[in-house]
Amino acid sequence: KKKACEYIGINSKSFELPGDTSEKELLELLERLNNDSSINGILVQLPVPDYIDPLKVINTISPSKDVDGFSPYSVGCLNLGEKGFLSCTPAGIVELLKRSDIEIDGKHCVIMGRSNIVGKPMASLMLNNNATVTITHSHTRNLKEICKTADILIVALGQKEFVTSEYVKEGAVVIDVGIHRDENNKLSGDVLYDDVAPHCSAITPVPGGVGPMTIAMLMYNCVEAVEI
């Protein structure tokens, strides 16, 4: 993120806090940054320690500086189809689809995972682009059958190489949001790439797929924040 800021000419500041920083201290820092007119955007690297309430942290960031797009205000704008900061990973995925000339309008999109960071905002954003959306989660029955109906399958499970070709219909587009690092420092996703790729019309790799688009949309939000 720092390198991306440098690359496009954004001045970034990092606050690397000790591991025993209290919730009160973190919230006070965020309030100072909210009130600093030289700061246009604020993001907190999640996850925070267990003793800090992440919702309190997100709620403390001024909506006009919420470049991650996580605040209730930003989420509300997304759900209403109003202009606001978009959650970076879902926004990056939609931008990737559009720039790859992959049609969204009228397509069936299955999203595997219902997190507040990817799954839920992804569903709203695809709905805003006129897709028909299904979300699957840990209580979903007939998971393989549902996934095999997807024109666009977006996988954000957090389970290494969970999705095989048995989950994918021929010619589908597969977006792999997962990222896992093994003991040899090798990265892989939620999709078993070599098994699934021959059955897809398009598939994102890990690394080098969704990750760079997330950073790109974060930079976009930072530029937008200057104009607010």
Pairing of strands 187-188, 180-181: antiparallel
58-112 residue pLDDT tens: 999 999 999 999 999 999 999 999 999 999 999 999 999 999 999 999 999 999 9
Q: CB neighbours (10 Å) of residue 125? A: 22
Any alpha helices (H) in 129-172, and if so which ranges? Answer: 143-147
Pairing of strands 108-112, 152-155: parallel
How many CA atoms lie within 13 Å of 70's alpha carbon, on the beta-carbon side?
22
Q: What is the average pLDDT across 197-203?
A: 98
* Amino acid at position 102, single letter: I
- Residue pair 88/68 in contact by the 8 Å Cβ criterion: yes
Q: CB neighbours (10 Å) of residue 176? A: 25
pLDDT bin (cut points 50, 70, 90) of residue 22 is: very high
Q: How far apart are the first and last CA of the chain?
A: 21
- Which residues carry out catalysis? 1, 45, 68
Instruction: Output the pLDDT for position 170.
Output: 98
pTM of the predicted structure, to 2 decimals: 0.94
Take residue 119 and report the two structure tokens written for it. 């799954």
Q: What is the average pLDDT across 203-208?
A: 98
Residue 228 has pLDDT above 80, yes or no: no
Bridge partner residues of 110 (DSSP): 134, 153
* Amino acid at position 35, single letter: N
**CA–CA separation, 204 vs 119, rounded Å?**
17
Q: What is the average pLDDT across 128-148?
A: 98
Take residue 73 and report the two structure tokens written for it. 């205000």
**Across all residues in the chain, what is the average pLDDT?**
97
Residue 121 has pLDDT above 80, yes or no: yes
What domains does the chain contain, in order, with CATH numbers?
Answer: 2-78+214-227 (3.40.50.10860), 103-207 (3.40.50.720)
**CA–CA separation, 112 vs 176, rounded Å?**
10
Q: What is the average pLDDT across 16-24?
A: 95
